[in-house]
């Protein structure tokens, strides 16, 4: 896939004609809600077989591979004329494979809480794991089903379902008190394990996805002991254990969300660890990218120092936020799908900008009442930058935070860079 950034005067029909594809193909590939309205700065995926580029001063094969979102091995294999991969020169012409390259395979997990069967079926072929959200654990070791998308059809498409269990309260919100009650009492843990094992067997799940959040800092050691016991029980029965972790840049990092989670313990106990790196630009915070690449790198630098890189699934967001400015106490940004964000930019006649450090698109506009807004979302450029980290850090794969809305463009870009591991 090639990424084209819309310039003033571009139209979809003109782009389609230059690229030799149909307008409908471009519309479908990019999930365009209004094909007639493009925004300056908008990123479009263009299907291409391959591309040529010339080496710039200071380039290495690694930096070029990262620029185009390719595994280094793929770039080297596509340019057999290069005898020494460590020696390239400015002006040298390289082939950039955009399809047909032997791709490394990665694990792809996705969380989902509500989606139509038809929409989900088009996306299941791209998934290794599907984590319906969620079962709720209580302080007595019971579990309660609280999800609207069971997705029994997942296995027909080779996607293994995980039983996702959280410490959410019935009315919403993660409860440190529920986690504390479980961590501090082995009898409660035993009841929880028995309930989980019964549902795992009855629902024909492939394993468990544990997402306990807002854990009290003083429960750190007890949390680690619980994870070891859970790991032993599940692995003895042949089940996979996946755990979700908030972002940290060091073991000493302060913060209510972080202290109780020991990355090294999770890395040892779990088969896969989801790094929830999509937590920066959230609805109740200030306007910013959900997963700024520079911040994501800091989390990964620490994570790979204390756990096997191959166990890490990098969190990838599938939504945007629209903040009304100035921010007011208790105000909340409006959630948008990525295609909705692009359509909003076109309607507001706002040029889409791209933050080089965060590697994320954004734009500003005024609404009909004159209020200022700032919108951050994800596009092909920001996703390609994140997917490039998988190869760079040799991670196990990715985890999509929310698959309730279609991720067509994202999956098409993904399949141009990686294959998907199938477990069933």
The CA-based dihedral angle spanning residues 39, 45, 49, 53, taken in that order and rounded to the nearest 10 degrees: 60
Could you say which of 194, 213, 378, 415 is catalytic? 213
Q: Cβ(267)–Cβ(226) under 8 Å?
A: no
The CATH 3.10.350.10 portion of the chain extends over 2-97
Q: What are the angstrom distances between the C-alpha of 364 and each of 282, 328, 352, 367, 368?
A: 17, 18, 8, 10, 14
Spatial distance between the Cα atoms of 255 and 275, rounded to a whole number of angstroms: 16
Sheet holding 360-366, edge to edge: 334-336, 320-325, 372-376, 360-366, 353-355
Spatial distance between the Cα atoms of 363 and 160, rounded to a whole number of angstroms: 38
The CATH 3.20.20.80 portion of the chain extends over 105-322+376-420
Q: What are the angstrom distances between the C-alpha of 212 and each of 6, 41, 279, 393, 410?
A: 42, 39, 15, 26, 28
Report, at the CATH architecture level, how domain 105-322+376-420 is classified: Alpha-Beta Barrel (3.20)
- Joined together, the tokens standing for residue 213 give 């959040």
- ∠ Cα 391 28 33 (to 5°): 110
Q: What is the pLDDT along the chain (424 residues), one digit of tens a residue?
A: 789 999 999 999 999 888 888 899 999 999 998 888 899 999 999 887 667 788 999 999 988 888 877 778 778 878 888 888 888 999 999 988 766 555 689 999 999 987 666 677 788 889 999 999 889 999 999 999 866 555 667 777 889 999 999 999 998 899 999 999 999 999 999 999 999 999 999 878 999 999 999 999 999 999 999 999 999 999 999 999 999 999 999 988 877 676 789 999 999 999 999 999 988 888 889 999 999 999 999 999 999 999 999 999 999 999 999 999 999 888 899 999 999 999 999 999 999 999 999 999 999 999 999 999 999 999 999 999 999 999 999 999 999 988 888 898 999 999 888 889 999 8
Q: CATH homologous superfamily for 2-97? A: LysM domain (3.10.350.10)
- Work out whether the CA dihedral 7, 13, 16, 18 comes out positive or negative: negative
213 is catalytic: yes
The CA-based dihedral angle spanning residues 369, 370, 371, 373, taken in that order and rounded to the nearest 10 degrees: 110
């Amino acid at each position: 896939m090639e990424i084209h950034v819309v310039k003033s005067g571009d139209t979809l029909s003109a782009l389609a004609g230059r690229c030799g594809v149909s307008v409908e193909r471009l519309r479908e590939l990019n999930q365009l809600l209004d094909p007639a309205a493009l925004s300056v700065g908008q990123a479009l995926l263009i299907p291409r077989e391959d591309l040529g580029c010339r080496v710039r001063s200071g380039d290495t094969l690694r930096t070029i591979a990262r620029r185009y979102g390719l595994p280094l091995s793929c770039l080297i294999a596509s340019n057999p004329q290069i005898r020494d991969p460590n020696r390239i020169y400015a002006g040298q012409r390289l082939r950039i494979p955009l399809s047909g390259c032997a791709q490394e395979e990665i694990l792809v997990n996705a969380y989902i809480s509500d989606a139509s069967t038809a929409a989900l079926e088009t996306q299941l072929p791209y998934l290794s794991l599907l984590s319906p959200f969620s079962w709720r654990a209580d302080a007595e070791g019971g579990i309660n089903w609280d999800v609207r998308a069971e997705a029994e059809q997942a296995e027909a498409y080779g996607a293994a379902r995980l039983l996702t269990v959280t410490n959410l309260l019935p009315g919403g919100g993660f409860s440190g008190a529920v986690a504390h009650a479980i961590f501090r009492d082995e009898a409660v843990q035993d009841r929880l394990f028995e309930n989980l094992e019964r549902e795992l067997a009855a629902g024909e799940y492939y394993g468990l996805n544990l997402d306990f959040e807002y854990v009290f800092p003083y429960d750190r050691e007890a949390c680690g002991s619980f994870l070891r016991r859970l790991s032993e029980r599940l692995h003895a029965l042949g089940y996979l254990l996946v755990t979700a972790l908030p972002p940290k840049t060091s073991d000493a990092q302060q913060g209510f969300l972080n202290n109780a989670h020991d990355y090294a313990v999770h890395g040892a106990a779990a088969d896969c660890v989801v790094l929830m790196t999509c937590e920066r630009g959230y609805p109740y915070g200030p306007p910013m990218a959900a997963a700024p690449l520079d911040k994501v790198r800091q989390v990964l630098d620490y994570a790979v120092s204390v756990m096997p890189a191959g166990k890490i699934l990098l969190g990838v967001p599938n939504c945007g936020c629209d903040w009304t400015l100035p921010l007011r106490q208790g105000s909340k940004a409006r959630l948008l799908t990525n295609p909705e964000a692009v359509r909003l930019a076109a309607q507001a006649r706002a040029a889409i900008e791209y933050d080089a450090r965060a590697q994320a698109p954004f734009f500003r506009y005024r609404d009909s009442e004159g209020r200022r807004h700032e919108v951050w979302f994800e596009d092909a450029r920001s996703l390609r930058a994140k997917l490039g980290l998988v190869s760079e850090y040799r991670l196990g794969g990715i985890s999509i935070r929310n698959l309730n809305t279609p991720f067509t463009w994202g999956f098409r870009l993904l399949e141009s860079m990686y294959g998907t591991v199938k477990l069933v």
